[in-house]
Amino acid sequence: MEEELKKKKKNEECELEKEKEAQCNCEEKNGKCLKDKKGSKKEEKLEKEILELKTKNEELLNKVLYSQAEFANYKKRRELETSNMLKYSNSDIVLELLPIVDNFERAIKLDDSNLNDELSKFLDGFKLIYSHMVELLKKFEVVEIDCLNKEFDPNFAQALMTVKAEGVKPGVVVEILQKGYMLKDKMLRPALVKVSE
């Protein structure tokens, strides 16, 4: 029985050695396995190709990520431009209406105590039209810039002249020569003002 076990063990060892030889296609020298020179060069070449492909893959991945980020930024910018265009789409029309509103205000400032009945009726009509135009502007969120008796702010007004005013500290708006207007949060026209010295 022992002999049978020894034979079995020897057969198993032989089979293991045959498997090892089948896996390794190299030459043996002094019982040591040496790699085939051709196989070694092939492996180096394959490793080099793998490294190049990995590098190229990373570059392409970076380009794709960059393109995606650039497209997302473009999309945000485009949406912002579109929303601003819609938000301020009435600005051109409103700018054309403002001089008309100014003319109505000048006509209304006339002293109607000197006028005859017929001119007084015209003035009443002007006042009615003016009030309708002001309501229309308010409906479209056009707001007059309130700067009278306030410190001069160059972001909302242009100083045409400076005057000496008693009892008023320097840099305060003392008179509005032409009203300024805002459309929502955008300035349409700055106010033209006189500022105290």
29: pLDDT confidence band, cut at 50, 70 and 90?
A: very low
Give the whole-angstrom CA distance, residue 31 versus residue 27.
10
Give 99-123 pLDDT, tens digit per residue. Answer: 999 988 888 887 666 667 777 777 8
pLDDT band at 22 (very low <50, low <70, confident <90, very high): low
What pLDDT, on a 0 to 100 scale, did the predictor assign at position 151? 93
With 0.75 as the threshold, say if the pTM is over it: no
Distance (Å, whole) CA 56 – CA 36 = 30
- Residues 136, 98: contact at Cβ < 8 Å? no
For 109, phi then psi, to 5°, come to -70, -10
Q: Where are the domains of the chain?
A: 43-87, 88-196
CATH number for 88-196: choose from 3.40.50.1220, 1.20.990.10, 3.40.366.10, 2.30.22.10. 2.30.22.10
Kindly tell me if the per-residue pLDDT of 14 is higher than 70. Answer: no
CB 157 within 8 A of CB 190: yes
